Amino acid sequence: MRVLAHLSDLHFGRTEARVVDALLADLHRHRPDLVIISGDLTQRARTRQFAEARAFLERLPAPSLVVPGNHDLSPLYRPLARIFRPRAKFHRSLPDHDESPVWNDGEVTVVGLDSTRSLRWKSGALKGTHLDHLEAMLAESPDGAAKVVFLHHPPASARAGHPYETLVEHDVDLVLAGHVHHAHVELINGVHGGSLVLVQASTACSTRLREDANGYCLVRLDGGHMEVGVQGWGGEAFHTVRHHWFEKRTGTWRMVPRPSHVFPP
Ligand SMILES: [Fe+2]
Ligand SMILES: [Fe+2]
């Protein structure tokens, strides 16, 4: 079994220290195998904000994978940096993190895609280069390993076609995204069969709240069984707001109303 913590939209520069501390305490309590962060680590890609983000990563109880979000690119009011070196601070500040990270431990393969575009602020889209990278990485995934893709912008914001179809065709089990600051869990069926689970996390610890409280997601994967727990800020601590359960039968994920599997403690 693997436990993945999915965080997004930390927005250092606009965080509340007690929420950050409680978030770290909750993560230490749940002891994930891996922490996946789907972008917007900073509010305005400032050096100090990246330093805060790096200090946060160093306090995590597990290895972390990170992709940039639109807020992590050089800001639009610095047009030259935005055009020619949009990710310079991301790379300089987080030297241990690649913008297209990959994790493969035999049970789970996780591929991060950089969905930001240097000349667009809000809309990111999957491009051919992403798909080439994805195919190459998934080709190395061992038989039976769960396939997880994470990116900042939910693929629904891609403009053409059924953006999830390619991911379903590549047997991706789980897509993790952020950007919209709203927790959402959904089963997405492919047009020609197959399915995947989409998990969007709220903003983990920033005051940039939209229609949801601060939160993150805990995904437990055990063979063909998946449990998605939505963790939410309750004012003093994070607690479990709700669970969603899925099981995979004949290659297709289905949502089940209650756990059909006992996950190891
Ligand atoms: Fe954000
Ligand atoms: Fe964003």
Question: How far away, in angstroms, is 264 Cα from ligand 1 center?
Answer: 34
Q: What is the mean pLDDT of the chain?
A: 90
How high is the pLDDT of residue 98? 83
What's the gap in Å between 66 CA and the centre of ligand 1? 14
Query: Under CATH, which architecture does the 2-256 domain have?
Result: 4-Layer Sandwich (3.60)
Q: What pLDDT score was predicted for residue 161? A: 54
pLDDT at 2: 97
Express as a percent the part of the chain with pLDDT over 70. 94
Using the predicted structure, report yes or no on whether residue 118 has a pLDDT greater than 60.
Answer: no
Nearest ligand, CA 157: 2
Q: How far is the CA of 93 from the centre of ligand 1 (A)?
A: 19
Q: Which residues have their alpha-adjacent CB atom under 5 A from ion ligand 1?
A: 9, 40
Token pair of 136 as six digits:
């190459």
Other CB atoms within a 10 A radius of the CB of residue 113 amount to: 27
Domain residue ranges of the chain, discontinuous segments joined by +: 2-256
Q: What is the pLDDT of residue 122?
A: 45
pTM of the model: 0.94
Q: Which ligand is nearest to the CA of 121?
A: 2
pLDDT tens, position by position, 54-95: 999 999 999 999 999 999 998 777 777 777 788 888 989 898
**Residues 224-261: tens digit of each pLDDT:** 999 999 999 999 999 999 999 999 999 999 999 998 89
Please give the backbone phi and psi of residue 149, each rounded to the nearest 5 degrees, phi first: -120, 135
Q: Look up residue 86 and give its two tokens.
A: 């949009």
Q: How far is the CA of 105 from the centre of ligand 2 (A)?
A: 29
Q: What is the mean pLDDT of residues 212-221?
A: 96
Q: Which residues contact 44 (CB under 8 A, 6 or more apart)?
A: 13, 71, 75
Buried residues in 70-81 as b, exposed as e (16+ CB within 10 A): bbbbbeeeeeeb
* Pairing assessment for the beta strands 146-151 and 174-177 based on DSSP bridges: parallel
pLDDT confidence of residue 124: 44
As a whole number, mean pLDDT of residues 185-204 equals: 93
Residue 256 Cα to ligand 2 midpoint, Å, equals: 31
Distance CA 108, CA 238 (A): 26
Taking the centre of ligand 2 as the mean of its atom positions, its distance from the CA of residue 18, in whole angstroms, is: 23
Rounded CA-CA distance 234/26 in Å is: 12
Mean pLDDT of 180-209: 93
Judged against a pLDDT cut of 90, whether residue 210 lies above it is answered with: no
